[in-house]
Amino acid sequence: MEILDQATAAEVADRLLEIQAIRLQPDKPFTWASGWKSPIYCDNRLSLSFPEVRCLIRDQLVKSVSHFFPMAEAIAGVATAGIPQGALIANELDLPFIYVRSKPKGHGMENMIEGKVVPGQKVVVVEDLVSTGGSSLKAVQDLRNAGFEVLGMVAIFSYGFEVADKNFEEAGVKLICLSHYDALLPRAVHRKYIDENVLQSLGEWRKNPGAWMQ
C-alpha cells in the first residue's frame, strides 16, 4: 500500500474526523461483523453528504489515478460504497464507468459487472475503505475473469493491516490510498479526539486486531 502524499493523508484524516466518518472509541470499542473488537469505525459514505469533503476526496482520487495509472481507460467502483466515488472520478476524467457487485444480480441478466464489459480494457478499481482486502480483491478477480486488465486500485482509507499488504502483493494489485491509520492517529491526538496515553493500545490493535482486548 502506498499513499498519494503525506500532506493529503493528514488533510483527509482531519476531514474524516471532523465529519465523524471516522470514530475512535478505544474505551468503548466497536464490534465488527467478523467479531473483532475495534477502537475505530470508518464510514466514508458520510463524506458524500458534505460537498467540501466530497470534492476534496474526489479531486485527490482523480490525482491518484492520473499520477499512478495514466493509462487508465475506465473506472470500476466496488459495490456499494465505491460506486459513487468511482462515478465522480470517471466523470472528472471523462472515462467510462462500471461497477462490480458483491454477488450476481438475482434476476434479469444476472450480471456481476454493471456497465459495458470491454475485454482487454485497462481499468482502475475504486474502493472507499480497505481492511483485509478480501472483498476488494474479489472485485478485482471478477473484473479479470470478465477480461479486463486491472491496473490497480485507489481508496480513501486503509487500516494498514499486514494481511492486507500481503493479500494485495499476492494478487499483483497496486493499492494507492489517500490516508491510513498511521496518518490518522497523530491528527486525532492533535485535535484532541483521543489522549496520547491510548496510542500504545491503538497500535497493538492494528498489529493483532483479532486478539485485541481478549
In the annotated binding site, the residues are: 101, 105, 107, 127-135
Burial class (CB in 10 A: 0-12, 13-18, 19+), 165: middle
- Which residues are annotated as part of the binding site for 5-phospho-alpha-D-ribose 1-diphosphate? 101, 105, 107, 127-135
What are the cell numbers at 148?
A: 479486463
Known binding residues for orotate are 131
From edge to edge, which strands make up the β-sheet containing 113-114?
A: 2-3, 175-180, 149-158, 122-130, 74-78, 97-100, 113-114
Pairing outcome for strands 74-78 and 97-100: parallel
User: Minimal CA–CA distance to 72: which of 53, 92, 58?
Assistant: 92
Residues 100, 114: Cα–Cα separation, whole Å: 6
Long-range contact set of residues 94-100: C-beta below 8 Å, sequence gap at least 24: 96/121, 98/74, 98/123, 100/76, 100/125, 100/139, 100/142, 100/143
